[in-house]
């Protein structure tokens, strides 16, 4: 790992053993990108990688006889108005109405380690030896503004992070109308754009499209979150790149609010990628002595396919984005009462469900919505964070201790950013709503958005919820957020400050998270946003896991979790076994398949175990035992590999392999069963070719179906139901595991799954 500045050629080389990033100071004082990709040897001069030629309609930005034109230059941080007619990374409105700026190189600093960009979340280091940082300061003379471009390269990851800071030194006020976090340019357009898109209950589906001339982008403009429609991530991959070979560049924004991720191809085939805060309805005024910090972009390069890109994100985000007590810990197996009771519960019903959960080996009981205020439905009560004593006469403090006396930890659901108009909070503070005076206030789920851009609102919510946490024995908080922002306007800000409202709202959310996680460091926080609408790196900095989707159907979850794994580690994915018929899809799936999907996440249950058959309850107990044995491997230690895509066929498969290659867990899922079909081979990845593994698969018939299945297949004992054999890693990866379709029939046929464990055979 190193960052070198070559004084003679005015070139910067940022590199480690896997990746290189080259740029230079041009004749006009701006920065040009020369190369980004697989690591190359450092040397004094790469200036010949700059290309320029006289072209028709070209505007030249330096005195003659120079021919430097910004339209045909791969810039590090482009602006509009001086000859570049593509989208800019920066727009600054000045007092005279001009938006023309000229940021030229002043100085740079190279230092070991990485600075925080508080109050924004970002990746970090625990030792200065883990990373090195370059900060390049550029200055615009007319506005007297500094711009600091920051680049950090990690020693052990193919990762470069980017962010930008603006410092206004001049007397005039300026307005940042666009301030992207990073801009990267590529010489050609021979790429496919990968994005993660969808909607409620089908979040983060993998979408690919070939780049062409013009702009291709995804964005979020929801105000309260990054959104279910598009994730703040894109990748550029070569057309023939697969999971295991080929080039791919990943770009992930560490931010939870409005964002823009864009790829623009010029008519000369150059590709410009930009990520940052969405400029729509963004206007940040800076006076003398004030500064603005953009969010961080995490860029990952892989020349070994999409799996390697994802594994780099997984390792970095597990170790150097997540923080606190739970960062390196496997997660407790929980049961959440939401789909078991919805709002209809009392203390007796809750304790009955909790007792059965304890019998099954569950470790944490979570009380979901309906415990506070007058909350008997979703029309009322939000904002009133005091217990409903009619339902829970001994309060949350009493219930939490009763649950703990059963031998379980206790968790609680909250939705701190929202309010119903039928609430004591709204009646006391109607001006605390986001909304425009005199305009209709759009509603969603019968609720409205509290103005978290105002400190007094955040203070009030903090005081209410911290009192509950202080008085009770709470080990887990599920922080939900169930609507997007409309009519974005703060009654607490004047006209010149309204362009700050949505970003300040997110800063308010981060502030409340910071206070609560600081005061209650042992609580496990899970973020949630009407399912997976807030699954982004910014949230993982505060809450090390996120509810992946409200859709708990096992078959649909293979798509959702597969797409989510492009960026986010398995341990960050909230995943539960729920009842059938599924409450979202109304589909029947085997209870084994529901667990086999949920294992590859935080794992838990969202049902009333008292309603299961004896056979199903025995399956649950086995599932809990299995997860306790393998959760360290799946959640903490292992590397995740995608094997078969649910977006490309009837089957899905993935696996987790221990870092030392000593053990693995692999899963195969099918959607619809097939009759008289061809043979199957499941080819694994990531194993040690020379290691002999014992491969095991439990073939017990699904407990969701009639016991006659066991009679049909002549299965008599547990030993009959486990298939075991030994094979070397090279065979398992090149030849694969033979899958007998009759085994899938035993598991229920449609939506059946098989789970394989692999352990190194020792002499």
pLDDT digit string, tens, across residues 459-493: 999 999 999 999 999 999 999 999 999 999 999 99
Cβ pair 34, 23 in contact under 8 A = yes
Average pLDDT over residues 120-128: 97
Model confidence, pTM: 0.97
Q: Which is it for the CA torsion 573, 574, 578, 583, positive or negative? A: negative
Q: Report the alpha-carbon distance of residue 133 to residue 12 in Å, rounded.
A: 12
340-364 pLDDT per residue, tens: 999 999 999 999 999 999 999 999 9
Is the pLDDT at 710 greater than 80? The verdict is no
Active site residue 156: no
Is the pLDDT at 320 greater than 90? The verdict is yes
Confidence of residue 189 (pLDDT cuts 50, 70, 90): very high
Is the pLDDT at 709 greater than 60? The verdict is no
385-403 pLDDT per residue, tens: 999 999 999 999 999 999 9
Active site residue 42: no
> In whole angstroms, how large is the CA radius of gyration of the chain?
27
Confidence of residue 329 (pLDDT cuts 50, 70, 90): very high
222-235 pLDDT per residue, tens: 999 999 999 999 99
Q: Report the alpha-carbon distance of residue 599 to residue 576 in Å, rounded.
A: 9
Query: In sequence order, what are the residues at sequence separation of 6 or more whose Cβ sits closer than 8 angstroms to the Cβ of residue 69?
Result: 52, 55, 58, 59, 60, 61, 83
143-154 pLDDT per residue, tens: 999 999 999 999
The token pair at 26 is: 């041009």
Q: Report the alpha-carbon distance of residue 336 to residue 364 in Å, rounded.
A: 9
574-631 pLDDT per residue, tens: 999 999 999 999 999 999 999 999 999 999 999 999 999 999 999 999 999 999 999 9
Is the pLDDT at 455 greater than 90? The verdict is yes
Q: Out of 84, 368, 480, 536, which one is annotated catalytic? A: 480
Q: How high is the mean pLDDT of the chain? A: 96
pLDDT above 70 as % of the chain: 98
653-687 pLDDT per residue, tens: 999 999 999 999 999 999 999 998 999 999 999 99
Is the pLDDT at 284 greater than 70? The verdict is yes
395-450 pLDDT per residue, tens: 999 999 999 999 999 999 999 999 999 999 999 999 999 999 999 999 999 999 99
Supply the pLDDT for residue 701: 85
Supply the pLDDT for residue 629: 98
Confidence of residue 716 (pLDDT cuts 50, 70, 90): very low
Supply the pLDDT for residue 708: 56
Supply the pLDDT for residue 561: 98
Cβ pair 558, 669 in contact under 8 A = yes
Is the pLDDT at 706 greater than 70? The verdict is no
**DSSP 3-state of 639:** strand
Supply the pLDDT for residue 588: 95
518-542 pLDDT per residue, tens: 999 999 999 999 999 999 999 999 9
Is the pLDDT at 712 greater than 70? The verdict is no
Is the pLDDT at 717 greater than 50? The verdict is no
Is the pLDDT at 639 greater than 70? The verdict is yes
Q: How many CB atoms lie within 10 A of CB 67?
A: 14
The DSSP 8-state label assigned to residue 637 in this structure reads I
pLDDT above 90 as % of the chain: 95
Is the pLDDT at 5 greater than 70? The verdict is yes
Query: In sequence order, what are the residues at sequence separation of 6 or more whose Cβ sits closer than 8 angstroms to the Cβ of residue 262?
Result: 87, 215, 216, 217, 219, 272, 273, 274, 275
Supply the pLDDT for residue 472: 98
Query: In sequence order, what are the residues at sequence separation of 6 or more whose Cβ sits closer than 8 angstroms to the Cβ of residue 168?
Result: 143, 144, 145, 174, 286, 287, 288, 289, 290, 291
59-84 pLDDT per residue, tens: 999 999 999 999 999 999 999 999 99
Q: Out of 84, 550, 639, 651, which one is annotated catalytic? A: 550
Cβ pair 211, 189 in contact under 8 A = yes
């Amino acid at each position: 790992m190193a960052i070198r500045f070559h004084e003679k050629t005015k070139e910067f080389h940022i590199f480690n053993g896997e990746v290189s990033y080259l740029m230079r100071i041009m004749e006009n004082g701006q920065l040009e990108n020369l190369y980004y990709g697989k690591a190359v040897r450092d040397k004094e001069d790469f200036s010949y990688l700059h290309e320029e030629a006289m072209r028709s309609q070209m505007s030249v930005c330096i005195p003659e006889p120079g021919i430097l034109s910004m339209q045909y230059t791969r810039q590090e941080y482009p602006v509009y108005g001086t000859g570049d007619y593509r989208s800019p990374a920066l727009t600054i409105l000045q007092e005279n109405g001009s938006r023309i700026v000229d940021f030229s190189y002043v100085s740079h600093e190279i230092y070991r380690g990485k600075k925080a960009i508080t109050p924004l979340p970002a990746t970090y280091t625990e030792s200065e030896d883990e990373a090195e940082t370059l900060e390049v300061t550029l200055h615009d003379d007319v506005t007297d503004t500094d711009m600091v471009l920051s680049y950090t390269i990690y020693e052990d990851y193919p990762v470069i992070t980017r962010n930008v800071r603006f410092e206004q030194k001049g007397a005039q006020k300026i307005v940042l109308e666009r301030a992207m976090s990073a801009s990267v340019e590529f010489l050609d357009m021979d790429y496919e754009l990968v994005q993660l898109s969808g909607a409620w209950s089908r979040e983060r589906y993998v979408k690919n499209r070939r780049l062409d001339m013009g702009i291709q982008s995804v964005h979020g403009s929801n105000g309260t979150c990054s959104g279910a429609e598009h994730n703040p991530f894109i990748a550029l991959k070569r057309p023939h790149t697969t999971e295991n070979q080929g080039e791919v560049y990943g770009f992930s924004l560490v931010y939870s609010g409005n964002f823009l991720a864009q790829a623009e191809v010029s008519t000369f085939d150059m590709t410009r990628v930009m990520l940052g805060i969405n400029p729509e309805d963004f206007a940040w005024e800076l006076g003398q002595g004030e500064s603005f910090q953009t969010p961080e972009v995490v860029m990952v390069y892989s020349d070994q396919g999409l799996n390697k890109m994802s594994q780099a994100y997984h390792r970095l985000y597990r170790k150097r984005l997540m923080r606190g007590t739970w960062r390196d810990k496997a997660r407790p197996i929980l049961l959440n009462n939401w789909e078991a009771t919805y709002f209809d519960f009392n203390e007796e019903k809750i304790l009955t469900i909790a007792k059965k959960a304890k019998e099954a080996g569950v470790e944490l009981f979570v009380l979901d919505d309906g415990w506070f205020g007058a909350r008997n439905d979703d029309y009322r009560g939000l904002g009133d964070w005091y217990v409903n004593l009619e339902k829970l006469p001994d309060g949350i403090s009493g219930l939490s201790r009763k649950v703990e006396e059963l031998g379980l930890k206790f968790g609680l659901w909250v939705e701190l950013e929202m309010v119903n108009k039928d609430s004591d909070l709204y009646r006391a503070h109607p001006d605390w709503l986001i909304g425009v005076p005199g305009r209709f206030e759009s509603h969603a789920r019968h609720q409205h958005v509290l103005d978290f851009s105002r400190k007094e609102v955040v203070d009030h919510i903090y005081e209410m919820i911290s009192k509950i946490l202080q008085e009770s024995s709470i080990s887990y908080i599920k922080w939900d957020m169930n609507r997007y922002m409309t009519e974005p306007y703060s009654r607490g800000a004047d006209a010149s400050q309204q362009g700050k409202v949505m970003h300040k709202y997110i800063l308010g959310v981060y502030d409340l998270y910071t206070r609560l996680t600081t005061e209650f460091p042992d609580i496990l926080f899970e973020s949630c946003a009407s399912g997976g609408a807030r699954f982004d790196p910014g949230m993982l900095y505060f809450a090390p896991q996120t509810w992946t989707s409200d859709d708990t159907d096992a078959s649909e979850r293979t798509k959702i979790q597969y797409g989510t794994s492009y960026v986010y580690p398995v341990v960050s994915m909230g995943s539960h076994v729920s009842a059938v018929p599924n409450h979202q899809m109304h589909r029947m799936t085997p209870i084994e398949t529901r667990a086999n999907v949920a294992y590859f996440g935080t794992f838990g249950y969202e049902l009333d175990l008292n309603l299961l058959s004896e056979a199903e309850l025995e399956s649950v107990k086995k599932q809990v035992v299995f997860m306790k044995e393998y959760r360290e491997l799946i959640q903490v230690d292992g590397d995740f590999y995608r094997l078969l895509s649910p977006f490309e066929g009837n089957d899905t498969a993935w696996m987790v392999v221990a870092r030392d290659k000593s053990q693995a867990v692999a899963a195969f899922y099918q959607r619809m069963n097939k009759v008289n079909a061809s043979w199957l081979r499941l080819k694994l990845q990531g194993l040690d070719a020379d290691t002999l593994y014992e491969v095991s698969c439990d073939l017990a018939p699904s407990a969701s179906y009639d016991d006659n299945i066991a009679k049909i297949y002549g299965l008599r004992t547990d030993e009959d139901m486990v298939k075991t054999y030994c094979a070397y890693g090279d065979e398992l990866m090149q030849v694969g595991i033979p899958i007998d379709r009759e085994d899938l029939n035993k598991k229920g046929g449609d939506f059946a799954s098989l789970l394989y464990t692999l352990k190194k055979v020792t002499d």
